[in-house]
A and B are shown apart, each in its own frame.
Chain A
């Protein structure tokens, strides 16, 4: 398997523009996670899905952020409108399931977002 795939790897945009980050989880994994990492706040969980259904989005910073998972092989994280404080590395991860140690998360390479 190719692992978790994220695109784009780098994104530079101007304040106010819409940004869409994409993720393809590992095939067969039932859980998908979106994280954000900054120097100030470390690695934060934004939202996670189970079988394409959002389970917990309490980490989403505000209404400008939205995430979807239309099918088992694709998810998007959208920021509209983007602001400079959204600049961060965004990671997507997937895991097989839960219980009995199946919670191992496999991370993608991340998308480095810079909002000017």
Chain B
């Protein structure tokens, strides 16, 4: 699985869009980009995934660059409940994958 690089922490004002970047320059052609988040003391929660095209669901949008070497998770209207650690993962197999340290997003009132 490709290695990912994320900023350690980010702040966002409540009600504003939160844009979380992820670099995955060694991604292979058949590897998907997955995003999870972990709210304090809870299990990681799946947010969204994509291969090439931009994706949107009820939680977030995923923007993947044309060369697929980076992506951005967008929370369109961040709330205090979105404060969490966000993990970006790339994988092709259902098996081993590394969650890394993720980005700690703090949404401030």
B96 at the interface (CB under 8 A from A): yes
Nearest residue (CB) in B for A104 is B46
Number of residue pairs A-B, CB distance < 8 angstroms: 61
Which residue of B45, B51, B94 contacts A97 across the interface (Cβ within 8 Å)? B94
Question: How many residues of chain A have a CB within 8 Å of chain B?
Answer: 27
Asked if A50 and B43 make an inter-chain contact with CB atoms under 8 angstroms apart, the answer reads no
Which residue of B43, B49, B96, B101 contacts A108 across the interface (Cβ within 8 Å)? B43
Which residue of B45, B51, B95 contacts A55 across the interface (Cβ within 8 Å)? B95
Which residues does chain B contribute within 8 Å of A104, judged by CB atoms? 34, 46, 49
Asked if A48 and B95 make an inter-chain contact with CB atoms under 8 angstroms apart, the answer reads yes
What band does the interface of chain B fall in when counting residues whose beta carbon is under 8 Å from A?
20 to 34
Q: Could you tell me the distance between the alpha carbons of A110 and B43 in the complex, rounded to whole angstroms?
A: 6
Asked if B43 and A91 make an inter-chain contact with CB atoms under 8 angstroms apart, the answer reads yes
Asked if A48 and B42 make an inter-chain contact with CB atoms under 8 angstroms apart, the answer reads no
Which residues does chain B contribute within 8 Å of A55, judged by CB atoms? 95
Nearest residue (CB) in A for B101 is A42
Instruction: Tell me the minimal C-beta distance from B40 to chain A in angstroms.
Output: 11
Asked if A31 and B101 make an inter-chain contact with CB atoms under 8 angstroms apart, the answer reads no
A56 at the interface (CB under 8 A from B): yes
Q: Per-residue 0/1 for A73-116: is the Cβ within 8 Å of any B Cβ (1 yes, 0 no)?
A: 00000000000000001010101011101111111111000000
Asked if B94 and A95 make an inter-chain contact with CB atoms under 8 angstroms apart, the answer reads yes
Which B residues from 44 to 93 make CB contacts under 8 A with A? 44-46, 49, 51, 91-93
B45, B51, B96 interface centre (most CB from chain A within 10 Å): B96
A12 at the interface (CB under 8 A from B): no
Instruction: Tell me the minimal C-beta distance from A65 to chain B in angstroms.
Output: 17
Asked if A91 and B44 make an inter-chain contact with CB atoms under 8 angstroms apart, the answer reads yes
